[in-house]
Chains A and B, each alone.
Chain A
């Protein structure tokens, strides 16, 4: 029990030594004038640029997955606090940042137009002296009233299946009032209230956060639809397909190409992107990282633990790749989700060329020409897959994955055995996420491993999740469960019990599990649509679901 009398004396002594109550009447009057009852700072409607920022942040997070896993492996919990530097883009008003360092408190003042890094550390503050509007990294846009003070309470990074699935920033409104608008929600908070901003939101389990998850999904779908429309418009403006060929400076002889600082494979539509990326670095990193990923998995398989030393090295390399991600996403390359652009044939081929060059096994002119042809062909196929009309979105995902894996295989068939070993180090093909040249790099964002002893247990989890997402009544949920159980009974889904790598923190599934699950999921969804009475909105939701439930046999 607290000794409240002692607390009173303590507070009294502090007051006698200078900590006096201030006269706040002018401040209260001003606040009343500036923000009378009911008037809250307003945000303009969400613009498409937010989508780009969102996608950018997501991609960065996904590529950071292994690093996060390493960091988190030192903690028992699945979530971890982290000090993350985020960018504040001040659109209007004036903002002061108060950042508490180990030795000093740093205060900086910023005006509209400024873009400033801010450490999202608990205790750090943002002070808006005037009505202000600013973007907080990937977390959304905030509009404040005058004399508003915000304090970072917590920064949490959540990860799933080896990727950082979400991060959240909890901010307390110390004074004033703030309206925020992130992708999945918006609202207003006033002094004394706490708001949580999420950079991404995947359900933490089959039955968790279903409503939030669904809100996010809807938002993502809207953004993807926008993106598809824009892609469509773009493709319509291209009267003739732009020929894609090897870069014009290609040497005519068959000697190995020099280490590429620029792109080896060109496409005029993405010339800006190709010029922006540091292909040499990407190649060097990929060359170094490939064997490390295999070793990481091998050590996890042996011990069940993430080897911190190795994971840290992988994470450091990964950060170099992440630096390339913003340009990739802004380019508008077609592909699903965060790593969809990264796995696009044009990018993958250039990464491969620079990786081989970094290994001293650069492609020769003949390979270059043939791969350029494959890039042209598979770029068109990827675009078609992404634009294709499917009954379920999960089918579109499967088509995109199949297209990209076919591209990787075709390219590999043009390489020498030595080059193939660089592209696919021995052991890289055993687990999803173990290779930087595999569709699982983008598919992992959508997979949800469901540990289960049998089809019935799996069906219970999935039916719960689907039931919550669609807000089904008990009878409909029971129908869904029966359907899921029937389709989940396929022997190929239960062939091998999950090993230490799959059960581990990174949840890297054995290669093939997701692919098999996607095949059965489409049929299962079709049966649900056929049998379960659903509203039109629920049917639409089901068709647009991208979550792939993957049985993880116990």
Chain B
């Protein structure tokens, strides 16, 4: 593939808009808080664009950005040096869910699966992710202990993951 030099602000905007969601999601997936993810995405792009940069392929650019973002995230830990264990597994899971579109399709499938969720699992997801309640508060609402809430949420995410994987397989 022919390399495309980045020359104008329009080029910069295009590159950023093409990859920012995936890099941001990747950082969130690694565990970065949203605000930190914002900052690290910005820094990753700055490092990309300040260097002599030619766009060889979207996948190569995305991989480069993810690597830089991951390193920035690791460096931001409170007790560096800190290595992310199981890098291969981490990347394999990410590649599977991110696909070729930075995770848009997987996210849409997750939304569909979520819509099909009901009962206490749906309530737990709503209370945790929408209302940002603590485990103790969720437990009070649902009549569970904190450990029970933790287990319920984890089981629910496992159900959702299985649902997304089934949808992928049938696509």
Contact = CB atoms under 8 A, between A and B. Distances in A.
Interface of A: 1-2, 4-19, 21-29, 31-32, 36-37, 122, 149, 153-154, 172, 174-175, 190-194
B167 interface: no
Interface of B: 9, 12-13, 16-17, 20-21, 24-25, 28-31, 34-43, 45-46, 49-51, 71-73, 75-76, 78, 80, 85-86, 89-90, 93-94, 97, 103, 106-107, 110-111, 114, 125, 129-130, 154, 157-158, 160-161, 164
B33 to A, nearest CB: 9
B20 A25 contact: yes
B28 A191 contact: no
A175 B42 contact: yes
A290 to B, nearest CB: 42
A508 to B, nearest CB: 33
Nearest to A4: B93
Given A4-B94, A25-B12, A31-B46, 7 more contacts: A9-B110, A12-B103, A13-B114, A14-B28, A22-B24, A22-B38, A149-B39
B21 A1 contact: no
B111 A16 contact: yes
Contact of A13 (B9, B13, B160): B160
Which of B30, B40, B90, B157 has its CB near the most chain A CB atoms (within 10 A)? Answer: B157
Given A6-B154, A29-B13, A192 B129 contact: no
Given A13-B129, A19-B28, A28 B111 contact: no
Nearest to B80: A194
Nearest to B132: A17
17 contacts: A1-B89, A4-B94, A7-B31, A8-B97, A10-B157, A12-B110, A16-B107, A23-B20, A25-B12, A26-B13, A29-B9, A29-B13, A174-B39, A174-B76, A175-B39, A175-B42, A192-B73
Given A6-B154, A153-B78, A192-B71, A32 B114 contact: no
B66 to A, nearest CB: 14
Contact of B50 (A6, A22, A32, A175): A32
Nearest to B21: A21
Contacts of A154: 78
B20 A6 contact: no
A261 B111 CA distance: 74
Given A13-B114, A13-B125, A194-B75, A6 B34 contact: no
A284 to B, nearest CB: 43
A274 to B, nearest CB: 47
Nearest to B33: A19
A23 B24 CA distance: 10
Contacts of B89: 1, 4
Given A12-B110, A23-B17, A192 B25 contact: no
Contacts of B28: 11, 14-15, 19
Nearest to A175: B39
A191 B12 contact: no
Nearest to A6: B157
A34 to B, nearest CB: 11
B157 A192 contact: no
Contacts of A23: 17, 20
B68 to A, nearest CB: 9
A153 B78 CA distance: 6
Contacts of B154: 6
Which of A149, A172, A175 has its CB near the most chain B CB atoms (within 10 A)? Answer: A175
A16 B160 CA distance: 13
A192 B9 contact: no
Q: Sort A-B residue pairs by CB-CB distance and give the 5 closest, nearest first.
A: A192-B72, A191-B43, A175-B39, A21-B24, A37-B50
A7 B29 contact: yes
Which of B35, B78, B80, B160 has its CB near the most chain A CB atoms (within 10 A)? Answer: B78
B118 to A, nearest CB: 16
Nearest to B74: A192
Given A1-B86, A22-B38, A28 B110 contact: no
Contacts of B76: 172, 174, 192, 194
B25 A11 contact: yes
Contacts of B39: 149, 174-175, 191
